[in-house]
């Protein structure tokens, strides 16, 4: 999420003075939708909703990539900046896709048990989960490679 947010912020700053309001609206929608859907996906309770939100985030990332290509072609952004953004959107998209495909979204987090006497919400008796999704998220937020 932090990588997507950082990219979104960079794009916003780069195009904020653009006069072409239609193009600016399109790229702003794509960049904010990508970030928002990632965050929303990880806040969803059901597997289906979580997967759906992350799929929309991946789609928005693809839409953003198209807008970056257009911006480069018509001269709204320089080729070096565009190439950096294209690389970043590709990596973010791959990370989201890997997360969806490797069942992290669907099978690694179980619901809390109601049979615990512990008052602490995140004790091992209440939550059972694999650390794999958190490793992925840590890579996503620290800009490091994810190797499952």
Query: Phi, psi (5° rounding) for residue 133?
Result: -65, -30
Q: Look up tokens 């257009």; give the residue.
A: 70
pLDDT given for residue 98 in this prediction:
87
And the tokens for 81? 């900046």
pLDDT at 45: 81
Q: How far apart are CA 46 and CA 126, in angstroms?
A: 18
- Residues of the chain short of pLDDT 70, as ranges, are 102-148
Per the CB < 8 A criterion, the answer to whether 30 and 85 are in contact is no
Cα angle 118-119-122, degrees, rounded to a multiple of 5: 80
pLDDT digits (tens, 9 = 90+) for 110-132: 444 444 444 434 333 333 334 44
Residue 103: its pLDDT value, please? 56
Longest dimension (CA), the chain: 63
Which residue is associated with the tokens 């929309």?
A: 56
Is residue 47 classed as helix, strand or coil in its secondary structure?
Answer: helix
Structure tokens at 78: 């320089």
Task: Identify whether the C-beta of residue 62 lies closer than 8 Å to the C-beta of residue 93.
Answer: yes
Site of tokens 């959107």 = 89
54: left (phi over 0), alpha (psi -120 to 50) or beta: alpha
Its sign, for the CA torsion 13, 19, 20, 22, is positive
């Amino acid at each position: 999420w932090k990588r997507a947010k950082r990219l979104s912020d960079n794009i916003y700053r780069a195009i904020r003075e653009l006069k072409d309001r239609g193009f600016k609206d399109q790229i702003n929608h794509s960049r904010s939708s990508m970030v928002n859907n990632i965050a929303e996906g990880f806040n969803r309770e059901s597997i289906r909703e979580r997967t759906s939100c992350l799929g929309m985030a991946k789609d928005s990332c693809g839409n953003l990539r198209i807008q970056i290509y257009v911006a480069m072609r018509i001269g709204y952004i320089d080729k070096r900046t565009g190439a950096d953004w294209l690389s970043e959107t590709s990596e973010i998209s791959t990370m989201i896709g890997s997360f969806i495909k490797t069942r992290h979204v669907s099978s690694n987090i179980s619901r809390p048990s109601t049979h615990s006497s512990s008052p602490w919400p995140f004790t091992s008796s209440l939550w059972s989960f694999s650390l794999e999704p958190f490793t992925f998220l840590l890579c996503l937020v620290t800009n490091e490679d994810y190797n499952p």
